[in-house]
Structure 1
Amino acid sequence: MNKIYPKIIIGSGGTGGHIYPGIAIAKAIKRKIPESNILFIGSKYHMEMNEIPKFGFSIKEIYLSGGRNKLSSISSGFVLLIQLIRSFFLLNKIIKKFSPNLVIGTGGFVSFPTLLAAINNKIPILIQEQNSYPGLTNRIFSRYANKICIAYEQAKKFFPKKKTILTGNPVRSEIINNPSKELACNYLGLNKEKPVILSLGGSKGSDNINNVWIRGGLKKLINLDIQLIWQIGNFNPRKIKRSEFYHPNFIFMNFIENISICYAAADVIISRAGALTISEICIIRKPTILVPLNNSSDNHQNNNAKILEEKKAILIVKEEDIQDKLLDSIIQLINDINLKNKMVKNMLHLSMPNATNDIIHEILQIISFYEFK
């Protein structure tokens, strides 16, 4: 008898926080079942169309340019409605042609029409929620989901109890198995004997964090002989004086492709409080200062960060205090060995390195009608 191998659609797009959980799940499925067929759905206008093919996966585009922020005016809300309707009918065609056994939604606006089309075609769905306060799409579709995998205990109250399981966020295997600091510094051309700061601003960068370095931060790092790996995002490097920008202690890039190397090299991490980044930081256990984005949807970044702050696993600098406090907090943390050790120890209790395997287990239970060994 011929085996039937799974076909799975993953709706994953908008930001790295939605894209990389989908990639981690897809890679784990392929390791478990190499013959499986996985198709991503993404927005033509966002980074997933470039990022997902880099990992060897196919992706179909829909024409959806934004989420809840598009509801700020009648005209933009009307455009979003037209895009949703168009995407829904396109996804119906994709689902009927691809004939998936399961559709996975990792949240965000791309997941909305993807999950809606799956329900319309009576395809089982699994939801993966990254945040402590779930996004609107996942809250809406939770009643229809076969299983909901969450990363925070606090998210349970928003979902049907019998369907919901605490797994943690899926993290790519290369981050779990990241190299030593010595190897990472050698690869990046940094001195392993000097402190290294990794500055992240989310997949699109952060002007507020970038401005800390421009307005005196770089000069102070030079004086203290501290190295910086700087993800500048969409920031224009011409705004920085060339003499500071190209100092040998500094590495800058618009987007970090090999994040595991940069994590390994870092002594201290500065980051937004996206759920996936937090999960990665807890696994690699590096002292961290989080700067939650104030206008994140449902204030989820502040909610995520506060959970770790209560466990004394990270420090928080509020966005409104970033210019006055961030740089001093970084220098203080670099020099406080006891505080760094305490943070690393507390992160150990928050990390969930088996999250991806636990999610795959739930996926296989849903599509258990076929045989496979």
Structure 2
Amino acid sequence: MNKISPRIIIGSGGTGGHIYTGLAIADELKKKIPKVNILFIGSKNHMEMQEIPKLGYKIESIYISGGKNKFFSMRFFILTMELIYSYFLVKKILDKFSPDLVIGTGGYVSFPTLYVAGRRKIPILLQEQNSFPGCTNRIFSRYAKKICISYEEANKYFPKEKTVITGNPVRSVILENFPSKDKACNHLGLNIHKPIILSLGGSQGSNKINQTWMKGLKKLIHLDIQLIWQVGKKDIHELRKNMISHHKNFVLMNYIENISVCYAAADIIVSRAGALTISEICLIGKPCILIPYPWSSDDHQNKNAKIMKEKKAALIIKNDEIENKLVDTTIQLLNDSKRKKIISTNNLRLGKPNATKDIINEILQII
């Protein structure tokens, strides 16, 4: 292997959490080893095929859609065919690229890549974002040289001798040049003197959260509360048809590109309980309300949220409570300075600002 220009594959995709974890690792690798050759492998027709090339990285596609599959169902049969086809695609990619290391950030998209790497005895590093590890990382932990975890609670699922707690790698844009609240509000066209909510529905958005905000917009206008609202691709056009959503207090976005600006402007954050988003919130120390997505793989969002609740670092609203609790609970927290301070202090304590660098150090030891 050429130590000056190692060749590294990152299996990453399916959700924003897996994608941005992979990108954070890639960005830090480029800083440490400018001549490193990085190739991503993702799933065709998923968001990684657009997001990763935007940041200047090469990506090869495989065909795998994932999801929960019952044995002997048609969906299970389709997934099996996708895995077999993806296995041969990955073999070709690895033959051509000849990696020195394969990194898996979890999720079904990285499964075929890790499988081929394991069979060829190519060194593997796993990064696990959640408190309860996903199936892919649990399966391939036996083949990995190193496993970087984010929660101490995940320790018991992996071999102790090769597991290290690093935290989740976070995009450098969140840590570097984080804007002031004043600049962020100016950029978004919001009033710094009025309260601001940031609502994140996950990379695809949440129809249930969107519909509940829609019903509560008149109340927000009456109280002069501003809302930065990530609604997702499916609902953006429908919501923009409603005139009330065009009020000066509301900023609607399909997908948030300038997340650091939105974080900086917000007084509180309402979000799904994805591991990467939680890690980002803990780094910036903002009061938050988490709404775990109940159908996440292995129920990991509920488990992530439970830890935050136990450490008094977030308020939790269950998915079936959204309609009854979302608007009023958010307004109550906005008006409760003492509680906001407690939540901010506790989630700041959980932040791991050196996570990406610590993961890179583990990679450097392997290569």
TM-score for the superposition, normalised by structure 2: 0.97
2:90 aligned partner:
91
Aligned to 1:213: 213
Match of 1:174 in 2: 173
Q: Specify the alignment match of 1:306 in structure 2.
A: 306
**1:143 corresponds to:** 142
- 1:339 equivalent to 2:339? Answer yes
- The offset of 1:243, in angstroms, is 2.1
The alpha carbon displacement at 1:100 in A equals 0.7
2:358 alignment counterpart: 358
Q: Secondary structure at the match of 1:197?
A: strand
SS of residue matched to 2:86: helix
Matches within 5 A, 1:56-71: 56-67=56-67, 69-71=68-70
For 1:88 and 1:3, how far apart are their aligned partners in 2? 28
Q: CA separation in 1, counterparts of 2:166 and 2:286?
A: 22
Secondary structure at 1:312's aligned position in 2?
coil
> Separation in 2 of the partners of 1:72 and 1:244?
46
Aligned residues with identical type, % of pairs: 65
Deviations 1:152-180 (A, max 9, x none): 00000000000100000000111123211
Which residue identity is paired with 1:116? Y
Cα shift at 1:97? 1.1
8 Å CA contact retained: 1:45, 1:64 = no
Quote the residue 1:259 is aligned against: 259
Contact 1:92–1:121 at 8 Å: present in 2 too? no
Paired letter, 1:150: I
CA contact (8 A) 1:184 1:264 kept: yes
Which residue is 2:118 aligned to?
Answer: 119
Deviation at 1:241, TM superposition (A): 5.4
Separation (CA, whole Å) in 1 of partners of 2:70 and 2:115 = 19
Letter in 2 for 1:128: Q
- Relative distance call for 1:167 and 1:241 in structure 2 (3 A) is same
| 1:219-269: CA deviation from partner (whole Å, max 9, x where unpaired) | 111111111100010214325653211111110011111111101110010
Q: Is the 8 A contact 1:199 1:230 kept in 2?
A: yes
1:207, distance to aligned residue in structure 2 (A) = 1.0
Could you tell me which runs of 5 or more consecutive residues in structure 1 were left unpaired when the two chains were aligned: 368-373
Show the counterpart of 1:296.
296
State the Cα deviation string for residues 168-199 of structure 1 (Å, max 9, x = none).
00001111232111111111111111111000
Q: Tell me: CA distance 1:72–1:220, structure 2 relative to 1, closer, same or farther (3 Å).
A: farther
1: CA distance between counterparts of 2:259 and 2:90?
Answer: 32
Q: Which residue of 2 aligns with 1:42?
A: 42
Deviations 1:39-68 (A, max 9, x none): 00000021000000111100000011224x
Task: Report if aligned partners of 1:43, 1:64 keep a CA contact under 8 Å in 2.
Answer: yes
Distance 2:153 2:205 in 1: 28
User: How many residues are paired up?
Assistant: 364
The DSSP-based 3-state class of the residue aligned with 1:283 is helix
Q: Map 1:99-110 onto structure 2 (within 5 A).
A: 99-110=98-109
The answer as to 2:187 corresponding to 1:187 is yes
Counterpart Cα distance in 1 of 2:238 and 2:38: 41
Q: How many angstroms apart in 2 are the aligned matches of 1:241 and 1:119?
A: 51
Q: Tell me which amino acid in the other structure corresponds to 1:294.
A: P
Whether contact under 8 Å (2:4, 2:35) holds in the other structure is: no
User: How far off its partner does 1:72 sit?
Assistant: 6.2
Report the equivalent of 2:250: 250
2:108 alignment partner, SS class: coil
Over 3 Å counting, the alpha-carbon distance change for 1:253 and 1:363 in structure 2 is: same
**Partner SS state of residue 229, structure 1:** strand
Which residue of structure 1 aligns with residue 268 of structure 2? 268
Instruction: Quote the Cα distance in structure 1 between the aligned partners of 2:120 and 2:218.
Output: 59
Query: How well do the aligned residues superpose, as a CA RMSD in angstroms?
Result: 1.2
**SS at the partner of 1:365?**
helix
Tell me, what secondary structure is at the counterpart of 2:148?
strand
Q: Which runs of 5+ in 2 are unaligned?
A: none
Residue by residue over 1:120-170, the C-alpha shift from the partner in whole angstroms, topping out at 9 and shown as x without a partner, is: 222100000000000000000000000000000000000000010000000
**Equivalence for 2:204:** 204
The aligned amino acid for 2:299 is N
Paired position in structure 2 for 1:323? 323
Query: 2:160 matched to 1:161?
Result: yes
Separation in structure 1 between the aligned mates of residue 193 and residue 260 of structure 2, nearest angstrom = 19
1:90 shift after superposition: 1.1
Q: Whole-Å Cα distance in 2 between the matches of residues 247 and 173 of structure 1?
A: 33
TM-score by length of 1: 0.95
Tell me the SS of whatever aligns to 1:139: helix
Deviation at 1:71, TM superposition (A): 3.6
Q: Is the 8 A contact 1:212 1:327 kept in 2?
A: yes
1:21 aligned counterpart, secondary structure: helix
Contact 2:14 2:48 in 1 (8 A): yes
- Structure 2 residue matching 1:110: 3-state secondary structure: helix
